Structure 1
Amino acid sequence: MDFEQAKTRVQELHELLNQYNYDYHVLDQPSVPDAEYDQRLHELIKLEQEYPELLVAHSPTQRVGGQILDAFEKVEHRTPMLSLGNAFNEEDLRDFDRRVRQAVGDRFSYVCELKIDGLAISLRYENGYFVQGATRGDGTIGEDITANLKTIRSIPLHISDEHTLEVRGEAYMPKKSFEKLNKVKEENGEMLFANPRNAAAGSLRQLDPKIAAKRSLDIFLYAMADAGKTGVRSHSEGLDLLDQLGFKTNQNRRKCATIEEVLAYVEEWSAKRPDLAYEIDGIVIKVDSFDQQDELGTTAKSPRWAIAYKFPAEEVVTKLLDIELNVGRTGVITPTAVLEPVKVAGTTVQRASLHNEDLIREKDIRLGDYVVVKKAGDIIPEVVNVLTEKRTGEEQEFSMPTHCPECESELVRLEGEVALRCINPSCPAQIREGLIHFVSRNAMNIDGLGEKVITQLFREELVHDVADLYKLTADQLTDLERMGEKSIENLLKAIGASKENSLEKLLFGLGIRHVGAKAAKTLAQTFETMENLKSATYDELVAVNEIGDKMADAIVTYFDQEEVHELLEELSSYGVNMTYKGPKLVNADEIDSYFAGKTIVLTGKLEQLARNEAKAAIEELGGKVTGSVSKKTDLVIAGEDAGSKLTKAQELNIEVWSEDQLVQELNK
Structure 2
Amino acid sequence: MTTTSAVPAVLSDAAAYAQAVEEAKTASAAYYEGGTSRLDDDAYDRLVRSITAYESDHPDQVLSDSPSGKVAGGAVEGDVPHTVPMLSLDNVFSDEEFTVWAASVERRIGREVARWNVQPKLDGLAIAARYEDGRLTRLVTRGDGSAGEDVSHAIGTIEGLPAELSEPATIEVRGEVLMTTAQFEYANQARTEHGGEPFANPRNAAAGTLRAKDRAYTVQMTFFGYGLLPLPGTDEALAAELAEEAHGALMDRAAGYGVNTPASTAVAGIVVPSVEQVLVRVKEIAALRAELPFGIDGIVVKADLAADQQAAGSGTRAPRWAVAFKLPAVEKITKLVGVEWNVGRTGIIAPRAVLEPVEIDGSTVTYATLHNPADITRRDLRLGDHVMVYKAGDIIPRIEAPVAHLRTGEEQEIAFPTECPQCGSGIDTSEQRWRCERGRNCYLVASISYAAGRDQLDIEGLGHTRVVQLVEAGIVASLPDLFDRVTREQLLGLERMGETSTDKLLAALEAAKRQPLSRVLCALGVRGTGRSMSRRIARYFATMDLIRAADAEAMQRVEGIGAEKAPVIVAELADLAEQIDRLAAAGLSMTEPGATPPAPAGEADGDTDAPADGDAGPLAGLKVVVTGAMTGPLEKLSRNQMNELIERAGGKSSGSVSKNTGLVVAGEGAGSKLAKAESLGVRLATPDEFAEMVADLLD
Normalised to the residue count of structure 1, the TM-score between the two structures is 0.36
| Greater Cα radius of gyration, structure 1 or 2 | 2
Normalised to the residue count of structure 2, the TM-score between the two structures is 0.34
